[in-house]
Amino acid sequence: MKKLLLQVFLVLLILLNGSALGAGSGSGVTLSGASLRAVGPDLFDAGAGVFTSGTYGWVAQGTNLIANDANTLKITYVDHSAGANLTLRDSTDLSADLVSGTLYKIKFDAKVGAGDSVNVTYRQGAPPFNVLGRATVTNTEFQTFSLYGVANAIYGAFRQEGMDSGEIIWLDNITIQTFD
């Protein structure tokens, strides 16, 4: 019952905050005093969230560039504002599909080039494809961010928004877990 009430509370916060809930730089919502704890294991396949080799299941949008840069994912804007996309499901870099109706936390480290500002989002996997969590990255040193959202399908999307000419973002230490 406690888990259900917490999920209902978070869904209401998400809806009241324009469908986005995040924590970190640029966040519009702070969950002060809320008691959320991860209960599930990290769903990322071994090495996929820390980029031990390659770029795993990430797909560059348009002709943007993705590369493994010293065991981080480097995304460089060329012509598409969405940067790169990772479909969150078992067939890409997760050990299991998402469960519709379940609350997830995506935690990651990110940094951008000097003067850059890039949004990182967790989106629904099925229509209406709403943004569940959003963080704005403006730091040139790695900073930790967390995005929260309730899945509406067996998959979701982790991607960028608003990339523009010359912008670069690096991602590392990505985890996804369920909550109670």
CA distance 157 to 89: 9
Give the whole-angstrom CA distance, residue 61 versus residue 83: 6
Averaged pLDDT of the chain? 85
**18 alpha carbon, distance to own chain's centre:** 17
What pLDDT was estimated at residue 36?
58
pLDDT at site 132: 93
pLDDT of residue 179: 77
Q: Residue 7 above 50 pLDDT?
A: yes
User: What pLDDT score was predicted for residue 6?
Assistant: 53
In single-letter form, the type of residue at position 79 comes to: D
DSSP structure class, residue 94: B
Burial of 2 (0-12, 13-18, 19+ CB in 10 A): exposed
Per-residue burial over 49-83, b if 16 or more Cβ lie within 10 Å, else e, is bebeeebbbbebbeebebeeeeebbbbbbeeebbb
Residue 27's pLDDT band, with cuts at 50, 70 and 90, is very low
Half-sphere exposure of 134 (CA within 13 A, CB side): 16
Answer whether residue 142 shows pLDDT above 80: yes
User: What is the edge-to-edge ordering of all strands in the sheet holding 156-161?
Assistant: 59-60, 84-88, 156-161, 118-124, 131-137
Report which of residues 137 and 179 the model is more confident about. Answer: 137
Question: What residue ranges define each of the domains in the chain, with the CATH number in brackets?
Answer: 2-29+54-178 (2.60.120.260)
pTM of structure:
0.82
First to last CA, the chain: 10
CB 170 within 8 A of CB 52: no
* Least-confidence region, from 21-25, 33-37, 147-151: 21-25
- Under 8 Å between Cβ of 170 and 74: yes
| Tens of pLDDT, residues 68-126 | 999 999 999 999 999 999 999 999 999 999 999 999 999 999 999 999 999 999 999 88
Give kind and range of the element (H or E) at residue 16: helix 2-16
